[in-house]
Homo-oligomer: A and B are copies of this chain.
C-alpha cells in the first residue's frame, strides 16, 4: 500500500477513514497475506496527524477525528497480515506510530530522514497506546526519554535504538521490503497469526476497553486555550518555514 496524500501524507480525517476501510478490505481478502506500507511522496513517509484537524474545530469534530486515529491503530497494530514498513523518508509522530505498528521496519539509510514520537515538542502528549506501541518495540527506558523530550531519531540512531530493524540505501528500500516479506510468508499463516495476536492482544485490549474515555480525554485536552494557542504558534512557524 502506497500512502498518497500530497504533499506530506498528513493523517487527515478523510485519509484515516480511507486507510481503515482499505485495510479492512485487504484483511478480508484471503489472497492478501502481507502488506508493505510505504509513501508516494519523496522524502517523507508520513508527517503524522494533520494539525489542521486539531485546530479551530468543534469538540465534535475532534472526537470524530480521534476515533479515526484509534481505528487506524487498532486495525494496523492488530492486523493478521504480515506488515512491513518501507520507510522512505521522515516519519514524525503519527507517521512513526504507523511504522511502529508493523511487524518489521526498513528505513532509507539517509541521516537527513528522522523518525520519532515528537508530540511534546508541539506541546501535546502521545496517548498511552502510542506509548505502549513504542515501548513494545524499544523498551521502557528509551521510550520514557524519547517521549519526554519528543526526540526525533536520524536513521542511524533509529537503528541503534531498535526503532527500525534495518537501514538500506534509499533505492533498495522497496526491494528489501519485498524480500523480507517473502521470508515472513514462508511461515504457516495460522501459527503466525495466533502468535502475533498473543503478543499484541493485551495492548490493543487496553484501548478497546477505554476507547470512549480516551476520546473524552483527547477532546478535553485539545480544546484547552493554551493547547490551541501552542498549536497555532507551531502552524505559524511551519507556514513561515515554507515561504
Contacts and interface: CB of A to CB of B under 8 A. Distances in A.
A24 to B, nearest CB: 22
Per DSSP, are chain A's interface residues mostly helix, strand or loop, or mixed? helix
Interface in A146-164: 147-150, 162
Interface of A: 103-104, 119-126, 128, 131, 135-141, 143-145, 147-150, 162, 165, 183-184, 187-188, 190-192, 194-196, 198-200, 226, 230
Given A120-B191, A195-B120, A198-B128, A140 B136 contact: yes
B149 A184 contact: yes
Contacts of A138: 141
A190 B123 contact: yes
A220 to B, nearest CB: 12
Contact of A103 (B119, B148, B188, B192): B148
The listed residue with most B CB atoms (<10 A of its CB), out of A122, A125, A188, A191, is A191
B139 A140 contact: yes
B190 A148 contact: no
28 contacts: A103-B145, A103-B148, A104-B145, A119-B195, A120-B187, A120-B191, A120-B192, A123-B188, A123-B190, A125-B191, A125-B194, A125-B198, A126-B195, A131-B199, A136-B144, A137-B141, A138-B141, A139-B139, A139-B140, A139-B141, A140-B199, A144-B199, A147-B199, A148-B184, A148-B192, A148-B196, A149-B187, A149-B192
